[in-house]
């Protein structure tokens, strides 16, 4: 069974559309994340949630709205898609929030390749 699963894996859509990416984890973790990987492979955190509460929002445009209906799910909705939103979006989870040398490991999904045309 896939520990962190996200759908769809590939998405091609036109500018201006609204789209969602869904994420579910079956690890029983309390914390979930969205990361964005750009065309140069650079990975940057977008959001994190702990027990359905938002704890990190890294200056992401408000066109991006995460929603966590329960602690096993963290969906990402994107309004008015722009060309620059084309990227790979990774969902991830960890048992607890990452703190210093706690060693908590973040487990990543397989990524959702979004292309805006």
Partner 1 sequence: GDSVTQMEGPVTLSEEAFLTINCTYTATGYPSLFWYVQYPGEGLQLLLKATKADDKGSNKGFEATYRKETTSFHLEKGSVQVSDSAVYFCALGRNEKLTFGTGTRLTIIP
Residues of this chain that interact with partner 1 (CB under 8 A) are 31, 33, 40-45, 48, 50, 55-56, 90, 92, 97-111
**Rounded to the nearest whole angstrom, what is the least distance from the CB of residue 90 to partner 1 in the complex?**
6
**Rounded to the nearest whole angstrom, what is the least distance from the CB of residue 36 to partner 1 in the complex?**
11
Smallest CA-to-CA distance from 6 within 23, 20, 29, 25 is with 23
Is 54 exposed, middle or buried (CB count within 10 Å of its CB: 0-12, 13-18, 19+)?
Answer: exposed
Closer residue to partner 1, CB minimum distance, 84 or 103: 103
Tokens, residue 57 = 């929002």
Closer residue to partner 1, CB minimum distance, 42 or 69: 42
Closer residue to partner 1, CB minimum distance, 69 or 100: 100
What are the backbone dihedrals phi and psi of residue 100, each rounded to the nearest 5 degrees, phi first? Answer: 40, -125
């Amino acid at each position: 069974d896939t520990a962190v699963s996200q759908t769809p894996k590939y998405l091609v859509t036109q500018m201006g559309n609204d789209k969602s990416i869904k994420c579910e984890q079956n690890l029983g973790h309390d914390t979930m994340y969205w990361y964005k990987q750009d065309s140069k492979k650079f990975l940057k955190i977008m959001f994190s949630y702990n027990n359905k509460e938002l704890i990190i929002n890294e200056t992401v445009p408000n066109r991006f709205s995460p929603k966590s209906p329960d602690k096993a799910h963290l969906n990402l909705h994107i309004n008015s898609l722009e060309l620059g939103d084309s990227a790979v979006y990774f969902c991830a989870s960890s048992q607890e929030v990452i703190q210093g040398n706690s060693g908590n490991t973040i487990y990543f999904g397989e990524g959702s390749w979004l292309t805006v045309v």
